[in-house]
Amino acid sequence: MATATADMIDYPKIAKGALGAGVLTLVLASLVVGIETISAPTGITYDTRYTAVFAAAIGVAIVYFLAQLLKAGKPAIPLIAGAVLLALTLLMALAQTGEWEIARLVPFESPVVTWAIMLVPLSLVIRAGLVTWRSSPASVGKPAHERIHFADFYRRINTKFAILLIVVAVALPFMPFADRRLVDVATLVLTYIMLGWGLNIVVGLAGLLDLGYVAFYAVGAYSYAMLSVNYGVSFWFALPIAGTMAALFGVILGFPVLRLRGDYLAIVTLGFGEMIRVIIINWWWFTGGPNGINKVARPSFFGLEFDRSPPEGVQSFHTFFGLDYSPNQRVFFLYFVILAFALLTNLFTLRIRKLPIGRAWEALREDETACRALGINPRNTKLTAFAIGAMFAGMAGSFFAARQGFVSPESFVFIESAIILAIVVLGGLGSQIGIVLAAIALIGLPEFFRDLQDYRMLAFGIGMVLIMIWRPGGLLAHRDPTIYLHKTKAHSAAGAGAQP
Amino acid sequence: MEVFLQQLINGLTLGAIYGLIAVGYTMVYGIIGMINFAHGDIYMIGAFNALIGFLVLFGLGVSWAPLAIVIVLIITVMITAAYGWTVERVAYRPLRGSTRLAPLISAIGMSIILQNYVQLLQGARNKPLQSLIEGGITILEHDGYAVTVRYLQIGIVVVTLALMIGFTLLITRTALGRAQRATEQDKKMAALLGVNVDRTISLTFVIGAALAAVAGMMVLLYYGQIDFYIGFLAGIKAFTAAVLGGIGSLPGAMLGGLLIGLIEVFWSGYFSVEYKDVAAFSILVLVLIFRPTGLLGRPDLEKV
């Protein structure tokens, strides 16, 4: 770490650090990147790709050097060198994408990787540009803390922003650019928003770290799928049953473990999540095993089906309203269903925060011992949070089953729990709108890069780490209790902002 | 009786491997109180480094197994330790002192990164390795059922024991161990008394990764095949082992690892293979209900 002031830069130290970073890259990449194992019918052979390793090591060393200079307050060299690097990587990426003759000189195999690497000098140049601009005469005199903070800004426009989001969400399917794909992605994002809001009750409000939330999602999905396939129960009747089943599971699982604290609870919930998946896979005569359950009925609009030619005695949506048949009608309908569900979850959370039970959750999160002393029963209070969170997951799960038309254990792996938790934490614990933003960033954006399927999860992971480092408290960080005993000026401002 | 004995031997071997990974979890948890979710993937990286190391050595013509194993062990441990250091430096150190959940999310992100990094670079298929250490000792034979201890199993248990002894000495007898224990108890005070806290935490990660690398190499030799996904389940089981033994306690991690290994093997042997993971988790829940701090864990006194 170079902590030297702007006047005295310890160049040898930075150079040593850069050399170290380069050597470290070389060591890390030496086997896993440098040598490619090739599975052949006769066994396993290998191939080398050391140009990429050396290029990466040199690149890391240079970028480290420039970044440290920038940190020390010398933006000139990083700006120029970063621009050169940017031009170089851009050229390489263009050459590879356009399959020019010189492309074989590029050390990286895939154009996607080269394009991604281009982002590094790009961000360096932007950072250096910002530093230069801030130290320019025009902006001298303005103290740094006067810059508008994202969270403060959000607090000011909070309610308006929420209404705007809802209006946009309602109007989305009717926009001229809205095609089926966009609405499909929006439906997926809304499903995760609903799950995020549900999990937020458990993690954000009650402060219970649940790493197996997807288990309740699975219970809801399978409840509806089995009711629908075995007994022909319609979606709207099955929905409360699925929610209740999931809540019941929440209570059953929660009862023995909720007296555990923090990370013990985390690992046990993780274990339960995996157990439910293993049971679904192996209890094949009941759950369909790894193949799952097919032909789950789609939801109807007050008894009107969305089929081109519905079964005898059932009216279809398009004939009832005198419209032409379009498969989009079902897609749009499902979108509005999940939008309504998600808003319901949100409304519930907003209201319950004002009830004694919601306040007990927040109090319990802040100090369990004090709660005990004040006569709050921690176990029952936690159990309620767990059960209600599970109920929303169950409802989202039955929607998922209805939308897909089939369920299989593959949809309920641990990574789903991790993604939902990531949405809650990245959004800023307890912040309802933060969850919307995080879900759009983590679920919506990658959906439009489906072509880069292989790199999607890698980018997802990098995004998670970078957002956490950039904003450790989440995008919209605040964790203030909803109410205060003594409202000071600062608190009342924050408290009012914290409500939606 | 013969079946029981054979399962016991297999269970101990598996448990030794889990124990080695669990030590990494428990050390990190003890010192900075976070679940290092990427630890299972560090173990996977270790296994891949070992696999590639063996392939290269065979390609260079080194085919005498003991020599190859020693060389690969050294290389694997060094490279994987570098991974442990880098992960801590990049993803966890910037988050020190923030909320409890931030490093956890960062760790989950790191785990996703490492898995996909290996999958992209080495492919998603199973990677086989020829068996290097063949044979074993038959210790009991009855009604045509022979109880054998493979040389490899002896090797795994002996190496694990040696590492554990060395590691215990490191923690109890050396300056580094003292610094680690001091940091674990009170970071601020340790820093005031001249302990380089950042360096101590980094070294904790390096040691944890080195042990995981040994475990990864053992798994590669024991099962003869690996893929990029092995870190997830092994990581969960090892963490379960650490919690079972009492998180933060080193003998607890080893004990927990052995127990999880034994439960898994006996359950598959006597009941059903499908539900072995369920069995391990159920035991964990049962233990936690009656001993909320794990088997050897110290009760966590709560300060108001």
Q: Which tens digits make up the pLDDT trace of A40-61?
A: 777 778 888 888 889 889 999 9
> Is any Cβ of chain B less than 8 angstroms from the Cβ of A6?
no
Residue A92 pLDDT exceeds 60? yes
> Is any Cβ of chain A less than 8 angstroms from the Cβ of B298?
no
Mutate to test the interface with B, among A267, A460, A470 (most CBs of B within 10 A): A267
pTM confidence score: 0.86
* Record: contact B120-A261, CB cut-off 8 A: no
Residues of B in contact with A32 (CB under 8 A): 45, 48-49, 52, 117-118, 121-122
> Per mean pLDDT, which range of A123-137, A389-403, A472-486 is the poorest?
A472-486
What is the model's pLDDT at position A489? 45
Q: What is the phi/psi pair of residue A411, to 5°?
A: -80, -5
Residue A313 pLDDT exceeds 80? no
> Per mean pLDDT, which range of A145-154, A323-332, B209-218 is the poorest?
A145-154
Minimal C-alpha gap between B8 and chain A (Å): 25
Residue A73 pLDDT exceeds 80? no
Nearest to A275 among B118, B127, B281 (CB): B281
A277-286, A287-296, B142-151, B194-203: range with highest mean pLDDT: B194-203
Residues of B in contact with A39 (CB under 8 A): 123, 125-127
Average pLDDT over chain A, rounded to an integer = 82
Contact yes or no for A418/B108 (Cβ under 8 A): yes
- Residue/partner pairs of A30-33 with CB below 8 Å, 24 or more apart: A30/B79, A31/B48, A31/B49, A31/B52, A31/B53, A31/B56, A31/B75, A31/B79, A32/B45, A32/B48, A32/B49, A32/B52, A32/B117, A32/B118, A32/B121, A32/B122, A33/B121
Residue B143 pLDDT exceeds 50? yes
Tell me if residue B42 falls in helix, strand or coil. Answer: helix
> Is any Cβ of chain A less than 8 angstroms from the Cβ of B72?
no
What is the model's pLDDT at position B83? 96
Residue B18 pLDDT exceeds 70? yes
What is the model's pLDDT at position A154? 60
* Record: contact B127-A44, CB cut-off 8 A: yes
What does the pLDDT average to over B128-135? Answer: 83
What is the model's pLDDT at position B116? 92
Return the higher-pLDDT residue of A161 and B266.
B266
What is the model's pLDDT at position A493? 39
> Per mean pLDDT, which range of A71-85, B63-77, B81-95, B286-300 is the poorest?
B286-300
3 state SS for chain A = CCCCCCCCCCHHHHHHHHHHHHHHHHHHHHHHCCEEEEEECCEEEEEECHHHHHHHHHHHHHHHHHHHHHHCCCCHHHHHHHHHHHHHHHHHHHHHHCCCHHHHHCCCCCHHHHHHHHHHHHHHHHHHHHHHHHCCHHHCCCCHHHCCCHHHHHHHHHHHHHHHHHHHHHHHHHCCCCCHHHHHHHHHHHHHHHHHHHHHHHHHHCCCCCCCCHHHHHHHHHHHHHHHHHHCCCHHHHHHHHHHHHHHHHHHHHHHHCCCCHHHHHHHHHHHHHHHHHHHHHCHHHHCHHHCECCCCCCCECCEECCCCCCCCCCEHHHHCCCCCCCHHHHHHHHHHHHHHHHHHHHHHHHHCCCHHHHHHHHHHHCHHHHHHCCCCHHHHHHHHHHHHHHHHHHHHHHHHHHHCCECHHHHCHHHHHHHHHHHHHHCCCCHHHHHHHHHHHHHHHHCCHHHHHHHHHHHHHHHHHHHHHCCCCCCCCCCCCCCCCCCHHHHHHHHHHCC
* Record: contact A425-B102, CB cut-off 8 A: yes
Residue A142 pLDDT exceeds 90? no
> Is any Cβ of chain B less than 8 angstroms from the Cβ of A271?
yes
What does the pLDDT average to over A418-428? Answer: 87
B69-99 pLDDT per residue, tens: 999 999 999 999 999 999 999 999 999 888 7
Q: Which residue of B has its CA nearest to A29?
A: B79
State what percent of residues in chain B have pLDDT above 70: 98
Contact yes or no for B261/A299 (Cβ under 8 A): no
Instruction: Say how far residue A93 (Cα) sits from the centre of its chain.
Output: 29
Q: A283-312 burial, b for 16+ CB within 10 Å, e for fewer?
A: eeeebbeeebbeebbbbbbeebbbbeebee
What does the pLDDT average to over A174-193? Answer: 87
Residue B119 pLDDT exceeds 80? yes
Minimal C-alpha gap between A492 and chain B (Å): 23
Contact yes or no for A70/A124 (Cβ under 8 A): yes
What is the model's pLDDT at position B13? 94
What is the interface pTM, i.e. ipTM, of the complex? Answer: 0.88
A373-410 pLDDT per residue, tens: 988 888 889 999 999 999 999 999 999 999 988 899 98
Tell me if residue B248 falls in helix, strand or coil. Answer: coil
What is the model's pLDDT at position A468? 86
Q: Which residue of A has its CA nearest to B232?
A: A414
Identify the burial level of B148 via C-beta atoms within 10 angstroms of its C-beta, where 0-12 means exposed, 13-18 middle and 19 or more buried: middle
What is the model's pLDDT at position A141? 52
B35-50 pLDDT per residue, tens: 888 999 999 999 999 9
What does the pLDDT average to over A196-212? Answer: 89
Residue A71 pLDDT exceeds 80? yes
Shortest CA distance to A274 belongs to which of B280, B40, B178, B33?
Answer: B280
How far apart CA A333 and CA A106 sit, in angstroms, is 49
What is the model's pLDDT at position A159? 75
Shortest CA distance to B258 belongs to which of B278, B283, B293?
Answer: B283
What is the model's pLDDT at position A139? 55
Residue B239 pLDDT exceeds 60? yes
Residue B301 confidence class, pLDDT cut points 50, 70, 90 = low
What is the model's pLDDT at position A483? 59
What is the model's pLDDT at position A320? 75
Residue A494 confidence class, pLDDT cut points 50, 70, 90 = very low
DSSP-derived pairing of the beta strands A43-48 and B145-150: unpaired
* Record: contact A274-B106, CB cut-off 8 A: no
Residue B215 confidence class, pLDDT cut points 50, 70, 90 = very high
Tokens linked to A164 = 């705007």
What is the model's pLDDT at position A486? 57
Shortest CA distance to A191 belongs to which of A415, A333, A342, A411?
Answer: A342
What is the model's pLDDT at position B259? 93
Return the higher-pLDDT residue of A370 and A260.
A370
> Per mean pLDDT, which range of A279-293, A469-483, B155-169 is the poorest?
A469-483
Minimal C-alpha gap between A8 and chain B (Å): 25
Minimal C-alpha gap between A391 and chain B (Å): 23
Mutate to test the interface with B, among A3, A23, A37 (most CBs of B within 10 A): A37
